[in-house]
Amino acid sequence: MGMQSVAVACGALALCLALSTATNPGFVVRMTQAGLDYARQQGMAILEKELAQLKLPDISGKSRKVRYEFSRLRITSFHLPHSQITPISNVGLQVSISNAFAELDGDWRVKFLFIRDHGSFNLKIENAYMKIVLRLGSDTTGKPTISTSECSASISKVRVRFSGKLGRLYNLFHRVIESKLRKSLERKVCDNVAKSVHNELQKQVRTLPVTARIDDKIGIDYSLVAPPRATAQSLDLNLKGEFYSLAHRTTVPFSPLPLAFPSDHERMVYFGASSYFFNTAGIAYHKAGALVFEIPEDMIPKKAGFSLDTSVFSAFIPQLEEMYPNMSMKFRLSTPTAPFLTIGPGGISFQPIVDAQAYAILPNSSLAPLFLLSLTGNVSAVINVRSGRIVGSLDVGRIRLSLKDSAVGHFQVQGLQSIMNFLTSRVILPHLNARLDEGFPLPVLDRIQLSNILVRFHQNFLLLGADVRFQPRG
Ligand SMILES: *[C@@H]1O[C@H](CO)[C@@H](O)[C@H](O)[C@H]1NC(C)=O
Ligand SMILES: *[C@@H]1O[C@H](CO)[C@@H](O)[C@H](O)[C@H]1NC(C)=O
Ligand SMILES: *[C@@H]1O[C@H](CO)[C@@H](O)[C@H](O)[C@H]1NC(C)=O
């Protein structure tokens, strides 16, 4: 692209910025060599089964006046004891299989001058070699795709044993037969590999939940922002990693920062959840009105030693006694702006700002606004993974109060400190933590279970490591 066309393409600077930053993933899934090896083992078990069902066509022909026919060719076993998987940059994965062996049996029939004979035979394949290149890509919906871009199979040794009276006769044509069967097999093996990749592997990779619905309001966009990226050591899936409102999705006013993935490789799979991922959750929940929380009087535990009413609060705000005597109260908590957190090597740092509006409940049940407090504090988060979901729990240090607005005149907010501490730690946090404990789904394929979880914090992202177990169907 010449300078001029760059200038034209970036005529609208904002658009140009949007285009150039849109490619940073908000979420990365990395499969390490250990993960690829596990996938290879599972894949080989499936392929062995598929190849054992391979159907070969009948073979007939004539060799030195012997007319022969081989029918009912049936593979009895197929073993793939040695295989290797390696990522290939810009393509996908290469699977090499060596020393494969198989057995096959069938019926034979020959005609030689006036002699006719028939029987069964057994064929042993030894030292078969296969090379399969899997191309990885993504479709327009951001789902991964996988296909066979190259397949070759070569069988170096085939041994046929005929059962029947006229064994010597068959020596006349066994070379021809072995070569024909070998060619037929070599072709069929690749046909079956392609079918198996299409029917099994493609189906499996397409179970990636590119739009993970969380509830009736919020979803997570886990679509690929680029085709899967193979490097010498790993296979990376760069995903959007964005929470959004199902009702109406809006553009996120900031972009994901690049994730400097460490070269850790002790786990099979790593998930990098950027601060972007968490902050879009903040936006989506804030926009959906889900970050509003009411505390009515009956939510205060009996043993709290106080109740939510104006006679209790008038100890700190004397004006209440006169203006709203002996009335029940309630708090309405909300976030004035979407909460925003940052992630660094020390963990998640998060100082959400919460508005707490106090109301008196009048005898006719309508609400009289009393005062508006702004609450903030340092929130610490503990993150874990359970049943394929990110779960968390929050704790808050000392909360800081300030008076934002008051309909009952000025008062010293410090008086309310212990009541607000109590509401935060005993009412709000348990409620929030119960929700966070349900967790949010990670982008994992169907029938994959995660174990041996590792949680680490890096600049701008949370790193989760896990080992993988594949649950076969049925
Ligand atoms: C406050 O109201 C309760 C019932 O709502 C009543 O039983 C109580 O006597 C009232 N106290 C005063 C001091 O008015
Ligand atoms: C409830 O009572 C207050 C004051 O007594 C009054 O201002 C308000 O209009 C009443 N609301 C309704 C819905 O009747
Ligand atoms: C939060 O932590 C920072 C640094 O650790 C500190 O400066 C700040 O005062 C804390 N805020 C509150 C509300 O405790």
pLDDT, tens only, 316-348? 999 999 999 999 999 999 999 999 999 999 999
Percent of the chain's residues with pLDDT above 70: 93
Check pocket membership of 362 for ligand 2, CB cut-off 6 A. yes
Are residues 317 and 262 located together in one domain of the fold?
A: yes
Strand segments, DSSP code E, in 335-459 are 341-344, 347-350, 353-361, 367-386, 389-406, 440-441, 448-458
CATH number at residue 445: 3.15.20.10
89 lines ligand 2 (CB under 6 A): no
15: confidence class by pLDDT, cuts 50, 70, 90: very low
User: What is the C-alpha separation between 340 and 288, in angstroms, rounded?
Assistant: 16
Residues 260 and 172 in one domain: no
For 118, the 3-state DSSP assignment is strand
Higher-confidence residue of 235 and 172: namely 235
User: Residue 12: pLDDT above 60?
Assistant: no
Give the ligand whose atoms come closest to the C-alpha of residue 398.
3
Residue 131 has pLDDT above 90, yes or no: yes
Pocket of ligand 3 (CB under 6 A): 376-378, 397-398, 400
**201 and 271 both lie in a single domain:** no
Q: How confident is the model at residue 166 (pLDDT cuts 50, 70, 90)?
A: low
Nearest CA to ligand 3 atom 7: 378
Find out whether the beta carbon of 364 lies less than 6 Å from any atom of ligand 2. yes
Task: Please report whether residue 1 resides in a domain.
Answer: no
Q: Which of 324, 364, 365 to mutate to test ligand 2, by most ligand atoms within 8 A of the CB atom?
A: 364
Measured over the CA atoms of residue 202, residue 203, residue 209 and residue 213, the dihedral's sign is positive
pLDDT at 432: 93
Atom 5 of ligand 3 has which residue's CA nearest to it? 378
Number of neighbours of residue 86 by Cβ within 10 angstroms: 14
Q: Do 82 and 145 lie in a common domain?
A: yes
Task: With a cut of 60, say whether residue 222 has pLDDT above it.
Answer: yes
Q: How confident is the model at residue 18, as a pLDDT? A: 44
What's the rounded Cα separation, in Å, for the pair 412 and 140? 59
Task: Look at residue 377 and tell me if it is in a domain.
Answer: yes
| CATH at 46 | 3.15.10.10
The residue whose C-alpha atom lies closest to atom 2 belonging to ligand 3 is 378
Nearest to 102 by CA among 56, 68, 134, 37: 56
pLDDT (average), residues 217-221:
96
Same domain for 169 and 313? no
Q: Looking at the structure, tell me whether residues 196 and 277 fall in a common domain.
A: no
Q: Are residues 297 and 344 in the same domain?
A: yes
Strand partners, 162: 121
pLDDT at residue 96 is higher than 70: yes
Does residue 28 lie in a domain region? no
What residue numbers bound the domain in which 249 lies? Answer: 241-470
DSSP letters, 140-154, are TTS-EEEEEEEEEEE
pLDDT higher than 90, residue 161: no
Whole-number Å distance, alpha carbon 366 to ligand 2 midpoint, is: 6
Residue 128 lies in a domain: yes
Mean pLDDT lowest among 158-167, 200-209, 237-246, 370-379: 158-167
Name the domain boundary from 205, 230, 258: 205
Residue 149 above 50 pLDDT? yes
| 309 within some domain | yes
For a mutational test of ligand 3's pocket, the pick from 373, 378, 401, 413, i.e. the residue with the most ligand atoms closer than 8 A to its C-beta, is: 378
Check whether residue 76 and residue 190 sit in a common domain.
yes
Which numbered ligand comes closest to the C-alpha of 353? 3
* Closest ligand relative to 347 C-alpha: 3
Please tell me the total count of domains within the chain: 2
In this predicted structure, the answer to whether residue 17 has a pLDDT above a threshold of 70 is no
Same domain? For 67 and 168 the reply is: yes
For residue 141, being part of any structural domain is answered with: yes
Q: Is residue 6 part of a domain?
A: no
pLDDT digits (tens, 9 = 90+) for 295-324: 999 999 888 888 999 999 999 999 999 999
Question: 119 lies in a domain?
Answer: yes
Residue 365 CB–ligand 2 contact under 6 Å = no
The residue whose CA has the least distance to atom 8 of ligand 2 is 366
Amino acid at 352: P
String of DSSP letters for 167-202: HHHHTTTHHHHHHHHHHHHHHHHHHHHHHHIIIIIH
- The last residue of one of the domains, among 205, 223, 255, is 205
Q: Which of 177, 205, 233 is the last residue of a domain?
A: 205
pLDDT at 251: 93
- If asked whether residues 39 and 187 sit together in one domain, one would say yes
pLDDT at 94 over 80: yes
Q: How far apart are CA 417 and CA 435, in angstroms?
A: 26
One domain, residues 119 and 259: no
Ligand number, closest to the Cα atom of 312: 1
Of the chain, the percentage scoring pLDDT greater than 90 comes to 74
User: 257 and 193 in one domain?
Assistant: no
Report pLDDT digits (tens) over 196-209.
Answer: 999 989 999 999 99
